[in-house]
Amino acid sequence: MRRPVTVAELYDALKAYTENNTHTQRSLSGMGWRWNHPEPFLASVRAASVTIDAVEKYKQPRSRGSAMTDPAENDSVKYLKTILLIGAQRGT
């Protein structure tokens, strides 16, 4: 039986994939700041347990202790979606 995969583990897999398949440092640096926002809130959550409600709670400024601008929030949510889609494709 497989151990449940966390969102942080999926991020690590995406980062390794990007490091192995990109030729620009910009791609890697962009990953870091996009991950900085959801990491404290969702890193330890089992990927299969991330729900629409969890994402909506993450988007609430008081949950993170600081407000995000709309573009930053949109980028982080899109990035979270990418992380979860990678996990779904891998069957985790």
Query: Which range has the worst mean pLDDT, 2-16, 30-44, 56-70, 77-91?
Result: 56-70
- The answer to whether residues 31 and 14 touch, using CB atoms and an 8 Å cutoff, is yes
Which structural domain, as residue segments, surrounds residue 25?
7-90
- Residue 20 in any domain: the answer is yes
Over the chain, what is the mean pLDDT?
A: 80
Instruction: For residue 82, give every residue at least 6 positions away whose Cβ sits within 8 Å of its Cβ, in sequence order, or none.
Output: 14
Instruction: Return the DSSP state at 87.
Output: H
- Residue 2 in any domain: the answer is no
Taking every pair of Cα atoms in the chain, the longest distance, rounded to a whole number of angstroms, is 41
Is pLDDT larger for residue 46 or for residue 72? 46
- Residue 77 in any domain: the answer is yes
Pick from 59, 26, 27: nearest CA to 41: 59
Considering its fold, how many domains does the chain have in total? 1
Q: How far, in Å, CA of 25 to CA of 18, rounded? A: 10
Q: How far, in Å, CA of 90 to CA of 70, rounded? A: 30
Coil, strand or helix at 46: strand
- Residue 11 in any domain: the answer is yes
- Residue 35 in any domain: the answer is yes
Quick: pLDDT tens for 50-89.
988 888 888 776 445 555 556 666 788 888 888 888 888 8
- Residue 36 in any domain: the answer is yes
